[in-house]
A and B are shown apart, each in its own frame.
Chain A
Amino acid sequence: MRRRYGSALLLVLVGAAILRISAFSELYLRYVQAGLRPYLVVSGAALVLLGVAMAVVRRTEHEHADEDGHGHHGSRTAWLLALPALALLLFPPPALGSYSAEREAAQRAAQGVGTFPALPAGDPVELTVGEFSSRAIYDSGRSLKGRTVKLTGFVTHGDDGTWYVTRLLVSCCAADASAGKVEIRGADALPADTWVTVTGTWHPKGRLGTDAAWPPVLDATTVTRVKQPADPYEKR
């Protein structure tokens, strides 16, 4: 049974795991960026179809049943694919959180000081952690001045009681995650990894474009707990 249909079964398993996280849920966002979804759906479906087709071919070709012996060396390594596939089907691993954010020395994207396009209308205006940080550190037009902004991220703690709203930035998959963070003042810290939405105003510090301006600071007016968003990461 395993000899004859093992390969086909493995293909269906991998395909089903990929479909489960991409077509039937948004779990794929914990692992890769949003743009990969169509490719995941297509490959998942293709793998399931291929597996079924190969099983049917196998069934009609009884005489070649023990041909598997040739590919034996390869097929043992292939069973490693069952590990991530079963993990995704049964216990999808969680999104990266404060543990990874604290390990990756948060780095600011290097860019020149300059003017930014005007902020969109709205009070408060909703910004990503990355957008807020680059405007706070590099915007010579100081577009954040006088605006109430709303940031969403998870809580991480610094030394001596400071805390941050943090978001991991991912450009391709979770392996390339790096952290962006905004220091929150004027509100009590929540436990690490709690997802929060913070509204407040920018608290300028340091000279533009220098290390002293980083990490940027937000004077909080309200802090509310929220559910973890479908896409836990920000696109870099």
Chain B
Amino acid sequence: MESRRSVVDGVRVAVRALVYAVVGGAALIAIATVASVLGPTLALDLYTPPVAAWWTVFTAITVQGVPFLLLGTVVSAAIGAFVPEKVFSRLLPRNQALAVPVAGAAGVVLPGCECASVPVAGSLMRRGVAPAAALAFLLSAPAINPVVLVATSIAFPGQPEMVLGRLVASLATAVVMGWLWARFGKEEWLRPPQRHAPEARGVKAFGAGLQHDFLHAGGFLVLGAAAAATFNIVVPRSVLDLFTGSAWLSVLLLAVLAVVLCVCSEADAFVAASLSGFSPTARLAFMVVGPMVDLKLIALQAGTFGRAFAVRFSAVTWVVAVVSSVLVGWWLL
């Protein structure tokens, strides 16, 4: 009896397995056939020239950003792991109103584009630098370092006033933003960057900090690159020609363009130079806004300092940068 039942059970299991195998196998074969026939054509249909161009621009912005992001995270991890707490508070004036311009001018020493400055500013805050001063550094570093200024002078040959205008307007914006933060900024907007073990020092902490900062910021770089590539493909640049007529509109338009195009600060002068239909002031605004506010920077700042901060800070910076370029453009250009 027992053995008979177990035989019946065995047969039942075998039959069930067979049915599953046949039905499942048939389904798999059907799916595989349909996929292999339709897949390539579907993939080709989806891989239209705009999609291909999107991928190219997206990877280009990411590839372009990686070395600079790595440089920035190396500097920031080194500050975190090797620089004693007291150094910066001793170097910078105690008075915040004075510390802001000093930190802004110190932006000259970081020869990178904007991807590098966000993690460095984060590590400065962790090392006890007043947020107002660190933010002035964050804004000025990608705009006024020697590499960028030399690129600007090459892009605008015979127009040294363009280089000077860029230096003055960018520094002014950075310092004004630092002061505004010192006066109106609220600590709770700023989510200081977290770290597993803030007290750790030495080589191992350097490695862990580097890994954490690079991956964290890198994810946001990819997010920004995707947004920039989308704008690059969706908005044709020929739309711009419609707006070259009005001086005011053109300044605002190029300031918006700087935000959505996310051109690296070492290259934006060449792009500005090619926008030949626009007034010099509008082009100056493009170069002042670009390194301080763009989609990829907003994403990076949101990742490092929190979304509440990134939105407020970027919006105000944009306004200050536009006003400052208009004033400097009216004075110098």
Contacts and interface: CB of A to CB of B under 8 A. Distances in A.
Interface of A: 7-8, 10-11, 14, 18, 21, 28, 30-32, 36, 39-40, 42-43, 46-47, 50-51, 53-54, 57, 67, 70-71, 74-81, 83-84, 87-88, 92-100, 103-105, 107-111, 171-176, 178, 236
Interface in B49-64: 49-50, 52-53, 55-64
Contacts of A100: 53
A78 B262 CA distance: 20
Contacts of A94: 52, 56
Contact of A14 (B204, B210, B212, B218): B218
B41 interface: no
Given A47-B70, A110-B276, A172-B267, A75 B215 contact: yes
B89 interface: no
Given A74-B303, A75-B215, A77-B303, A40 B237 contact: no
B303 A103 contact: no
Contacts of A67: 196
A108 B264 contact: no
B67 interface: yes
Given A11-B214, A77-B219, A84-B62, A43 B238 contact: no
A7 B196 CA distance: 14
Contacts of B276: 107-110
- Residue among A67, A75, A93, A173 with the highest chain B CB neighbour number at 10 A: A173
Contacts of A171: 155, 267, 270-271
Nearest to A105: B238
A99 B53 contact: yes
Contacts of A174: 56-57, 60
A11 B66 contact: no
Interface stretch (B30-38, B222-230, B312-320): B222-230
Contacts of A75: 215-216
Q: Is the interface of A mostly helix, strand, loop or mixed?
A: helix
B136 to A, nearest CB: 25
Contacts of B9: none
Contacts of B228: 175
A108 B270 CA distance: 12
Given A43-B66, A78-B216, A109-B276, A8 B211 contact: yes
Contacts of A77: 216, 219-220, 223, 303
Given A32-B60, A80-B222, A104-B237, A96 B273 contact: no
A96 B56 contact: yes
A110 B288 CA distance: 21
A176 B58 CA distance: 12
Contact of B59 (A10, A40, A93, A172): A93
Contacts of A8: 211
Contacts of A21: 63
Contact of B215 (A10, A28, A43, A46): A10
Given A11-B215, A107-B274, A93 B56 contact: yes
Given A84-B62, A95-B56, A71 B70 contact: no
Contacts of A172: 64, 263-264, 266-267, 270
A40 B267 contact: no
Given A31-B59, A171-B270, A173-B64, 13 more contacts: A14-B66, A18-B66, A31-B60, A40-B67, A42-B67, A43-B66, A54-B211, A71-B212, A84-B59, A105-B236, A172-B64, A175-B232, A176-B267
Nearest to B213: A74
B64 A32 contact: yes
A103 B237 contact: yes
Given A77-B303, A104-B237, A171-B271, A36 B64 contact: yes
Contacts of B219: 74, 76-81
Contact of A104 (B208, B229, B238): B238
A50 B60 contact: no
Nearest to A77: B219
Contacts of A92: 59
B264 A173 contact: yes
Nearest to B225: A84
B207 interface: yes
Contact of B60 (A46, A51, A79, A175): A175
Contacts of B275: 107
Given A31-B59, A31-B64, A32-B60, A96 B53 contact: yes
A100 B229 CA distance: 12
A115 to B, nearest CB: 15
Contacts of B62: 84
Contact of A57 (B157, B207, B240): B207
A77 B220 CA distance: 7
Nearest to A103: B236
A175 B208 CA distance: 32
Contacts of A108: 276
Interface string B172-215: 00000000000000000000001010000000100110111011
B241 interface: yes
A171 B225 CA distance: 18
A236 B221 CA distance: 25
